Structure 1
Amino acid sequence: MSNITLYLSPGSCARVSAIVLEELELEFETQVVRFMQGEHKTPTYKMINPKGKVPVLIYHGQALTENVAIITFLNQLYGKLLPPTNNPLDFSKQLADLCFCSSTLHPLVTRIRMPSFFAGEDNAKTVQDLAFKAMDEFFQLIDKTLSDQKWWYSDNWSAIDAYLHWCFWRVQDAGYPVEKYQHFCDHAERMAQRPAVKRAIARDNAASLILESEGLLFKPQPIVR
């Protein structure tokens, strides 16, 4: 039995943590959270994560939430996830990049992927349109950064690339025109070829099959354009 467990829901940002765990080649188990059944709001789950969200990393009996914290913790233990540095300013810049993914990109991803959650079905298209427009600026920034380098940090893959990849995939699946950003598209192709990413996606797909067999797989309705 592994000493590491990742609580996830298919399609969620828990895939980011799954990718970094796979990149580190750590042995870990996954636990599927049944959102459609309200499992994330139960007292049992809230004892693990009072915020009622995923991911949750259980590491040797201790729970840790939030991708930024999980990535930072694992990097402190094992390295390999962020460029090595002993400079507090450089480390803080890395945290800023992680927070760019989690607090700038991620909320827009959610509004693009699940707009009705924020404004109901009648206003969903308006919410998504505004999120599309807001996301353009940041995809332009990412595309420019990747225009002359393979990864966010030049030739060195990092956990930032895992988070960017999840954001890209999530909005692409919701109809956002990612094809406007060729360098970001190329980055997504490189990510898709990484063995760790393939293994993380396989875990996600296995979770989807479990939920689908139980009639609990969430499938947001596409916005008609």
Structure 2
Amino acid sequence: MSDYILFYAPGTCARVPMTCLEEAGVSFESRVVSFIAKEQRDVDYLKLNPAGKVPVLVEDGRALSENVAILGYLGRRFPDAGILPPAETEFERCQHVSDLAFCASVLHPIVTRIRIPERFCSLDGARSDVWKLAAEMMIPHFDFIDARLGQSPWWYGEKWAAMDSYINWVWFRVTGAGFPQERYPNLATHAERIAARPSVQRVLARETAGQEDLVSRGLNYGFQPVASVPLD
């Protein structure tokens, strides 16, 4: 029996804690959740996470939701895995939490508006407007991230950390939804380094299996990207 269960949906930010579990080399079961079937709203699932979202990490029957909490827990639970960098002071530890919160509370909401803008508008033709406004909001953040990644191969220097996988997930989601990549060479190179990690390759294999399961049940989500919209 697996020590951990991670509830996820393919392509979602659950990829980040799944990568961390793989980096830690621990046994875990990954259980796919179908949004089309509204499995995230099932009574049993809502007992694990009343918000009805992924990811959820279950350990010994106890459930933990929200990436900042999950990644912080895994970082302290498996200190040798490099999930979080060493922190000599409480202030440094909180700086690491702040970085993860930047991804979760600043970048992630923008990602959602770029990826699925139709959830934020009701007027015909407004989908492209939402996408454009969100993409313009992302530009200064990506400028900052790209500049930082130009100074070292990973967010914290010479070693991978969970923050790198979180940034890469943001990059993956928005570039897959038409966000222009050309002005961010360091983010693109960072994505290549991420893709080469064995842990990430194992995660993608898990996601592929989950996607195949959804397709076999007729529960595949049909994503329709917004047509290219010029940015200022």
TM-score tier, shorter chain, comes to over 0.9
Matched, 1:149 2:152: yes
Runs (4+) of structure 1 moved beyond 2 Å? none
Higher mean C-alpha deviation, range 117-126 or range 51-60: 117-126
Report how far residue 86 of structure 1 moved: 3.0
CA distance in 1, matches of 2:196, 2:100: 22
Report how far residue 224 of structure 1 moved: 2.0
What SS class does the counterpart of residue 205 from structure 2 fall into? helix
The partner residue of 2:97 within 95, 99, 115 is: 95
Aligned to 2:40: 40
Q: Provide structure 2 residue ranges, at least 5 long, that are not aligned to the other structure.
A: none
Letter in 2 for 1:166: W
Q: Provide structure 1 residue ranges, at least 5 long, that are not aligned to the other structure.
A: none
Query: Could you tell me the TM-score, scaled by structure 1's length?
Result: 0.97
Aligned to 2:86: 84
Alignment of 1:1-225 (within 5 A): 1-79=1-79, 80-120=82-122, 122-225=125-228
What SS class does the counterpart of residue 29 from structure 1 fall into? strand
Letter in 2 for 1:9: A
C-alpha contact (below 8 Å) 1:3/1:61 kept by paired residues = no
Report Cα offsets for 1:172-215 as digits up to 9, x if no partner: 11010122200111000000000001111111111111111111
Report how far residue 48 of structure 1 moved: 1.3
Aligned CA-pair RMSD: 1.0
Query: Could you tell me the TM-score, scaled by structure 2's length?
Result: 0.94
Report how far residue 11 of structure 1 moved: 1.0
Report how far residue 165 of structure 1 moved: 0.8
CA distance in 1, matches of 2:3, 2:150: 40
C-alpha contact (below 8 Å) 2:178/2:227 kept by paired residues = no
Letter in 2 for 1:84: P
CA distance in 2, matches of 1:162, 1:178: 18
What SS class does the counterpart of residue 63 from structure 2 fall into? strand
C-alpha contact (below 8 Å) 2:194/2:200 kept by paired residues = yes
CA distance in 1, matches of 2:173, 2:127: 17
Report how far residue 116 of structure 1 moved: 0.5
C-alpha contact (below 8 Å) 2:135/2:179 kept by paired residues = yes
Report Cα offsets for 1:66-97 as digits up to 9, x if no partner: 11101100111111211111301111111110
What is the aligned-residue identity percentage?
Answer: 42
What SS class does the counterpart of residue 125 from structure 2 fall into? helix
More helix by share: 1
CA distance in 1, matches of 2:220, 2:125: 23
C-alpha contact (below 8 Å) 2:71/2:162 kept by paired residues = yes
